[in-house]
């Protein structure tokens, strides 16, 4: 059974610091990896996608992928109180016809 | 771009009745649509995948006769919860793909069965 594991938290980070979120997955054949942000009562919002090993940066966000270790991470620089949310790691085996397998999410709290 | 809508945003129904939820891609053609369910403090779980004009593919443990999915066009998929029971109360979220790797999520529908 395909699994995506995340530390549920809460992870508390001071405003302005770097928040580091981690995720491991069990399906070695997975090809696509995503980080979503979900505010309470709302649907997920795509933050980052990554498909190859290494780092991918977009503004304050950096996604890191290590397929050999089956590990994905998300770094949030200069954390803001508005970044407080649950961050979901999602994995997809391949192309557009495949659904996503989500982790349970990490609850991030940015302390002003 | 890549906007997905859902209707209704919330619904309350009585046990034993059926409820239909619509998912629309507003500015792109969705070759594939997905339906997820999220219980409180749980993550999203994929229920089914549907392609336009084809029968939906259901995940293991999801009753296809209870959760009827119709992907009538490249911009519309519907989920009908038949004979709803209180344990079906959940947050139902659809997503749509134009064939690429990314999925675009709708705002979700909160179903409460009394």
Cβ of A85 under 8 Å from any chain B Cβ?
A: no
Nearest to B43 among A42, A46, A88 (CB): A88
With a pLDDT cut of 90, the percent of chain B lying above it is: 78
Q: Residue A35 above 80 pLDDT?
A: yes
Neighbours of A55 (CB within 10 A): 11
Contacts of A44 in chain B (CB under 8 A): 44, 93, 105
- The Cα B55–Cα A17 span in angstroms is 48
> Average pLDDT, whole number, for chain A?
94
Grade residue A45 by pLDDT with cuts at 50, 70 and 90: very high
Q: Residue A58 above 80 pLDDT?
A: yes
Q: Where are the beta strands (DSSP E) in chain B?
A: 4-7, 10-13, 19-25, 32-38, 45-51, 57-58, 67-73, 76-81, 90-97, 104-105, 109-113
The pLDDT score that the predictor gives to residue B14 is: 97
Q: Residue B41 above 90 pLDDT?
A: no
Kindly report, residue by residue over B75-87, the tens digit of the pLDDT: 999 999 999 999 9
Residue A90 makes CB contacts below 8 A (sequence gap 6+) with A4, A33, A34, A35, A36, A44, A100, A101, A102, A103
Cβ of A40 under 8 Å from any chain B Cβ?
A: no
The pLDDT score that the predictor gives to residue B99 is: 79
B60 vs B99, higher pLDDT: B60
What average pLDDT does this structure show over B20-46? Answer: 93
Contacts of A102 in chain B (CB under 8 A): 43-45
The pLDDT score that the predictor gives to residue A95 is: 58
What average pLDDT does this structure show over B92-111? Answer: 91
Kindly report, residue by residue over A69-96, the tens digit of the pLDDT: 999 999 999 999 999 999 999 999 765 5
Greatest Cα pair distance, chain B, in angstroms, is 39
The pLDDT score that the predictor gives to residue A94 is: 65
> Average pLDDT, whole number, for chain B?
93
What average pLDDT does this structure show over B64-68? Answer: 95
Q: Residue B37 above 70 pLDDT?
A: yes
Kindly report, residue by residue over B25-35, the tens digit of the pLDDT: 999 999 899 99
Inter-chain contact A42–B108, Cβ cutoff 8 Å? yes
Beta-strand pair A106-111/A85-92: antiparallel
| Strand, helix or coil for residue B88 | helix
Interface residues of B toward A, Cβ cutoff 8 Å, are: 31-32, 34, 36, 42-46, 49, 51, 59, 93, 95, 97-108, 110
B99 vs A27, higher pLDDT: A27
């Amino acid at each position: 059974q395909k699994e995506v594991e995340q530390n549920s938290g809460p992870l508390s980070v001071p405003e302005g610091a770097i928040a580091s979120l981690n995720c491991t997955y069990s399906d070695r054949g997975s090809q696509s990896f995503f980080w979503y942000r979900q505010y309470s009562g709302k649907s997920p919002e795509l933050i980052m996608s990554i498909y190859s090993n290494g780092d991918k940066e977009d503004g304050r966000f950096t996604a890191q992928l290590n397929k050999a270790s089956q590990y994905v991470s998300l770094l949030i620089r200069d954390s803001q109180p508005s970044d407080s949310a649950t961050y979901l790691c999602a994995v997809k085996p391949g192309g557009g016809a495949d659904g996503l397998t989500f982790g349970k999410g990490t609850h991030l709290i940015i302390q002003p | 771009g890549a906007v997905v809508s859902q209707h209704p945003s919330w619904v309350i129904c009585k046990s034993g009745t059926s409820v239909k939820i619509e998912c629309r891609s507003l500015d792109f053609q969705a070759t594939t649509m997905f339906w997820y369910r999220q219980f409180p403090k749980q993550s999203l779980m994929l229920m089914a995948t549907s392609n336009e004009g084809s029968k939906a593919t259901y995940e293991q443990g999801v009753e296809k006769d209870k959760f009827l999915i119709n992907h009538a066009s490249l911009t519309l998929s519907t989920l009908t919860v038949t004979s709803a029971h209180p344990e079906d109360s959940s947050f139902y979220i659809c997503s749509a793909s134009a064939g690429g790797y990314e999925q675009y999520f709708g705002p979700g529908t909160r179903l409460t069965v009394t």
